[in-house]
Structure 1
Amino acid sequence: MSGEKSAGPPQAFLLPLGGADAAQRRPRGPQHVGVAGAGLVGRLFAWALSQAGHKVEVFEAGPGPEPRFDGQGAAAFSAAGMLSPLAELDAAEPEVAARGFESLRLWPLIAARLSGQPTMQMDGSLLLAHRQDLGAAERVLARLRVSGFPAAQSLSEAELAALEPALLRGLRAWRLPGEGFINPLEAMTALQQDSQARWHWRRPVIAVEPGRLKLADGVDLRFDWIVDARGLGAKPQLPLRGVRGEVITLSLANHGLTRPVRLLHPRHRVYLVPRSRDQLVLGASEIESEDRSPVSLQSAVELMAAAHSVMPTLAEARIERLDVNLRPALNDNRPFAHCEPGLLQLNGLYRHGWLLAPALVQELLLASGLANLEKP
């Protein structure tokens, strides 16, 4: 899956170790691995590599492992954690859905081995549309029908009411089987705490090459392998841009929503995710800007009005948090995954971080011979 729109390294889902001697170049025995970046990708690599018996050190610009809601922390903390390969076909290519379904298979295997077992739900998601917006909905459904993946299942008003009684009557609805969500805060915490890595906070990496990290303080460090998972911190080595996203966390006791819903709207991609019985996550704007300032009034009003239009009980919800962050993206919005002896790179996951990370990390681990997410 290569792109031609941006300068710099070729963009692809995977550039495997090549050549007839690839097997001979794969590591034998425990390796010393330096990981640049402690977002979702960096934590998943660190966990998998340490579980496989490697000595792992992680270098991160941030002050510590805890979530930050100031626009400066890892974008994974701000995400809703939706695992929705079919719904993403609205704006993504079939390769995203294919890797997404692989991640749907891998996430339960990973979560079962994490302490506390982060909250997951895989009981499907819903697409919703007001009747006046059926034209916009039909365009999305048409992309799903020709994708070759499982079809959206049309629901009658009675079927929707039986599945999700908290939703407005009279909506058009379609069920997407197998989709779900994971709790990002729980999963990020467990991945960091359960790895045997050594974590170096406030140590930003400014450059990587095979077997070598260069830190902002001028220190050069040597390792057997480097994993570059810096997100936007990888600029200018990769031609990345930040895409602003705004998310709202709501509190409403016994809200009644049991699965993620996405509103098919002419202007907004609005989703609502039930993180717990008393908390929901509402998102997300998508703005071509690297502005990290607080959530704008316009975005907050539009998102909340759209959500309230499909779930009337949200009128009594309380705004727990307004969050903003930047999604790392390349010019064609495709991920960049690269493998060569001594270096793994994964970046540009855009709006698909939680959906794509396990599948792409697994491909790179298998290509390098360093680990396998499916095996302890």
Structure 2
Amino acid sequence: MSLQPSSFAILGAGLMGRLLAVELARQGHRVDIYDAGGPAAENSAATVAAAMLAPLAESAITEPGVVRMGHHALTRWPELLAPLSEPVFFQQAGTLIVWHRQDVAEAQRFTRQLENNQRSLPELPPLQKLDSGALEQVEPALAHRFNQGLYLPGEGQLDNRQLLAALVVEMERLGVRAHWNTPQSPDAFTPGALGQPDRVLDCRGLGARGQWGALRGVRGEVARIHAPDVTLQRPTRLVHPRYPIYIAPKEDHLFVIGATEIESDDRSPASVRSTLELLSAAYAVHPGFAEGRILELATQCRPTLPDNLPAIRQTRPGVLEINGLYRHGFMISPAMLDVTLELLNTGQSPLSERFDLRLELEPTAPAPTGVAAPAFA
């Protein structure tokens, strides 16, 4: 069963909002999208991200359902990127995990955790333990710098900013009406009334805290560095008890480096302490970063629910809220997209059960008197 052509108002033009706008417009729906910022997505957590697609690596800090969502994304991202008219860097060369000798105990604990997770999620490719020789073959740039490591095949990454820009181009091509610098809340709409959209999809992240009070911000800090002397070929993570970092190589020797995760919605510039730790750890992975150029030190807050898991809920007839993607936005957004499309098309989502995704589909408020209550099927 497919959804009959209808009209949508999408609130929030971050990653989820743009993905939904493009897919719904492709299905023939009329789509208006509203955002407090502009096309550059300056208010979106998606702008400050490494965009790594690393389900097994992330299994150390999240639930199996999220890991299954990440595995789903490895197939879906190429399908979502293929129709875009603008190129988006995408790589699926696996993840490398390394550590220094003094951190062997922490690395052994981390390895055991990944192995346990692997056994419970057999659909993921098994990790590979590397000695110094195998490590040199997988990542020549780290030859003689580490004695051992782990290789997680099949994991990937993409360029977050290229994708956000390409989705804007695609929205324009498909006739999506974008209302930039125009913040809106669900209260501004009466779905199903004359002159109103049939459905409202709220994807505002932390902008939705007025409606979803449980949301909190979790601060992240990243550095974008141009380092011509560094030739890492795939995302690399450093195991460390105090400041584990990830290094995600993009095109043309651009690297996105991050580590910090702070329970705060403070969006002020990065602190000197966290910047020193971040750059020192990157230098410890590869000395070529010393001659790199810092293009940007950026901070942003990820929208996070109390259990650190995403959720979809219907607050009143015709209004669906998608939120709580936390630090896994690019890894789980294709799954969240597909679940939302299932709900819109049929009113049900078998995928949500596979992903253990929390759905709250009983409206908490009735439709206004005299207004038809649009269903999601």
TM-score range, shorter chain: 0.7 to 0.9
Q: Given residue 91 of structure 1, which amino acid in structure 2 is its aligned partner? A: I
Structure 1 residue 206 displacement after superposition: 2.9
TM-score by length of 1: 0.85
Aligned counterpart for 2:71 among listed residues 101, 110, 130: 101
- How far does the alpha carbon of each residue in 1:138-157 deviate from its partner, in whole angstroms, 9 at most, with x for none? 22222221222333210111
Say whether the 8 Å CA contact 1:131–1:172 is kept in structure 2.
no
2:279 aligns with 304
Structure 1 residue 175 displacement after superposition: 0.4
How far apart in 2 are the matches of 1:210 and 1:367? 20
Structure 1 residue 221 displacement after superposition: 7.3
Q: Given residue 161 of structure 1, which amino acid in structure 2 is its aligned partner? A: E
Say whether the 8 Å CA contact 1:37–1:230 is kept in structure 2.
yes
Unaligned runs of 5+ in 1: 1-22, 214-219
1:52 aligns with 27
In the alignment, does 2:301 pair up with 1:332?
no
Aligned counterpart for 1:179 among listed residues 155, 158, 162: 155
Say whether the 8 Å CA contact 2:11–2:185 is kept in structure 1.
no
Structure 1 residue 255 displacement after superposition: 2.1
SS at match of 1:289: coil
Percentage of pairs with the same residue: 40
Structure 1 residue 98 displacement after superposition: 0.4
2:5 aligns with 30
Structure 1 residue 130 displacement after superposition: 1.2
How far apart in 2 are the matches of 1:353 and 1:221? 33
Aligned counterpart for 1:317 among listed residues 277, 282, 292: 292
How far apart in 2 are the matches of 1:208 and 1:232? 16
How far apart in 2 are the matches of 1:210 and 1:102? 33
Measured on the aligned residues, the alpha-carbon RMSD in Å equals 2.2
Aligned counterpart for 1:253 among listed residues 223, 228, 250: 228
In the alignment, does 2:206 pair up with 1:227?
no
Structure 1 residue 341 displacement after superposition: 5.7
Say whether the 8 Å CA contact 1:209–1:226 is kept in structure 2.
no
How far apart in 2 are the matches of 1:121 and 1:144? 22
Q: Given residue 179 of structure 2, which amino acid in structure 1 is its aligned partner? A: H
How far apart in 2 are the matches of 1:221 and 1:38? 22
Change (3 A) 1:135 1:221: farther
2:269 aligns with 294
Say whether the 8 Å CA contact 2:229–2:291 is kept in structure 1.
no
SS at match of 2:50: coil
SS at match of 1:255: coil
How far apart in 1 are the matches of 2:167 and 2:83? 10
Structure 1 residue 81 displacement after superposition: 0.7
Q: Given residue 76 of structure 2, which amino acid in structure 1 is its aligned partner? A: L
Aligned counterpart for 2:86 among listed residues 107, 116, 122: 116
2:177 aligns with 198
How far apart in 2 are the matches of 1:225 and 1:211? 9
SS at match of 1:123: coil
Which is further off, 223-232 or 338-347? 338-347
Unaligned runs of 5+ in 2: 350-377
Say whether the 8 Å CA contact 1:242–1:289 is kept in structure 2.
yes
Structure 1 residue 211 displacement after superposition: 5.2
How far apart in 2 are the matches of 1:108 and 1:211? 36
Say whether the 8 Å CA contact 1:118–1:190 is kept in structure 2.
yes
Q: What aligned pairs does 1:54-73 form with structure 2 within 5 A after superposition?
A: 54-62=29-37, 64-68=38-42, 73=43
- How far does the alpha carbon of each residue in 1:351-374 deviate from its partner, in whole angstroms, 9 at most, with x for none? 0000000111101101211899xx
Question: Whose RCO is larger (CA < 8 A, sep 6+)?
Answer: 1
How far apart in 1 are the matches of 2:320 and 2:186? 13
- How far does the alpha carbon of each residue in 1:91-144 deviate from its partner, in whole angstroms, 9 at most, with x for none? 111111101000111000011111123000001111111121122122222222
How far apart in 2 are the matches of 1:323 and 1:225? 35
Change (3 A) 1:155 1:358: same
